[in-house]
Chain A
């Protein structure tokens, strides 16, 4: 077997080991590679900056707690909202317990911005039915939930008493999503019927699928993936998980490029050598 064939048929465990080594090494020593601030990140930042203290924002979580990349954007936007004194109402359409607890209490720390639960933010908990749940919140917020995630009556909270059943009371809807109903559900239940601005946050993977909606301005802005998160952290002056994660991301990008280059060179050599290279 020629070298080219051996490269093309390489044991995938070697590739997996390379990936692990590269991520590990680049996580140890940050290099501070600059990030480009995309227009959708700037739009999101400007939207939050345009709000007044006391304005309300609805957060619709369609996530399991799978990875930091999926929540990094939401964390940095929530930090910005807390800094501006914006009130937030959270609900989730997936059954992940403690997602909002983990994000708000362990990562955002609203108390450090002077925000108090019940007065400045509320967690309504899991609303079942996926998109039907989103529709229920949009059409009839106060009729859909009566207790918060912790089992307490919502009527005791001042923020709940400020809310009405009109979805337009919220200045925008933040949609941290990776799962169904995600993007499409928020669009159908909040943007199209009520004209609410939507901001999406999630992994870089969701960038491609959300882009058509951003391009047509159905989505106002996005923070998708660690590079966007790092850019937003730079805008608000609070480096965090996004800034820490861009170096391993860069290393991975280079590794993948290198592997594709090597495999294609091996394939071409194998073809030119007259041997049928492996097809799949």
Chain B
């Protein structure tokens, strides 16, 4: 009646072990765990402060995609980061505008902003700053460029799932003299972000934002599990490469099981 599909047993076992390991780490993790610095996340307060000093707004975009496909994790991570940025803006008195491409995230963005401002004791949040620009990539890019040139923000945050429009936004940000923090899990865009943005949040660092900024012990513990997962992957690669070199394919067979 219920049997595992062909070819997925090994990944299923690895997933179960990973989840159990994460649960255990979340339980046993203590305060004071060491984490390396992530400059992009450290710069959030600096960027908003710069915007306040210059009397210019902050512009945030949670990337291109919504929450009903495989790009949900970076989008949700971007919205999590938005809540931190919005809280800093509320505290320091900076105006924040949010540009959205996928309308699915609009209720989440609205809620995030509202809660962030309420946390600072401010009832009125900049609802009009949340704008859905366009549903397609380059229409969104054109509208975003226009918005940047019109509003001239002093700080631009472009975090989430980003594609080819990244460089256009980054270059426009440089032209208007904005400080930029960009981050994505889309590997292809990272070189452009590195070249053009002031701070870049690389790959899985965007998922670490909540843990890094809140210093919540449980979520920091789960990050430790990711490191163990990477260690496991490295061991599999090294051992597998050595075995394959000698014609022993047992590890490959196990992983295909």
Contacts and interface: CB of A to CB of B under 8 A. Distances in A.
Asked if chains A and B come from one complex, the reply is yes
Interface in B39-84: 64-65, 68-71
A132 interface: yes
Nearest to B65: A180
Interface string B139-170: 00000000000000000000001011000000
Contacts of B137: 64, 66, 179
Interface string A5-32: 0000000000000000000000000000
A129 B65 CA distance: 12
A209 B71 contact: no
Contacts of B64: 180
Contacts of B136: 64, 95
Contacts of A193: 5, 7
A209 B70 contact: no
B235 interface: no
Contacts, number: 41
A62 to B, nearest CB: 12
Contacts of A179: 137, 163
A209 B188 contact: yes
B68 A132 contact: yes
A209 B187 contact: yes
A185 interface: yes
A66 B139 CA distance: 11
Nearest to B174: A280
Contact of B188 (A64, A129, A181, A205): A205
A129 B69 CA distance: 7
Contacts of B174: 280
Tell which of A130, A178, A179, A180 has the most Cβ of chain B within 10 Å.
A180
Contacts of A188: 70
B70 A131 contact: yes
Interface in B89-147: 135-138
Contacts of B7: 192-193
Interface in A176-232: 178-181, 184-185, 188, 192-193, 205-206, 208-209
Contacts of A95: 135-136
A152 to B, nearest CB: 27
Contacts of B188: 205-206, 208-209
Interface in A132-171: 132
Contacts of A178: 164
Given A64-B136, A130-B70, A181-B70, 20 more contacts: A64-B138, A95-B135, A130-B69, A131-B70, A132-B69, A178-B164, A180-B64, A180-B65, A180-B69, A180-B70, A180-B71, A180-B161, A181-B69, A185-B70, A188-B70, A192-B7, A193-B5, A193-B7, A205-B164, A208-B188
10 contacts: A64-B136, A95-B136, A130-B68, A180-B70, A180-B71, A184-B70, A188-B70, A192-B7, A209-B187, A280-B174
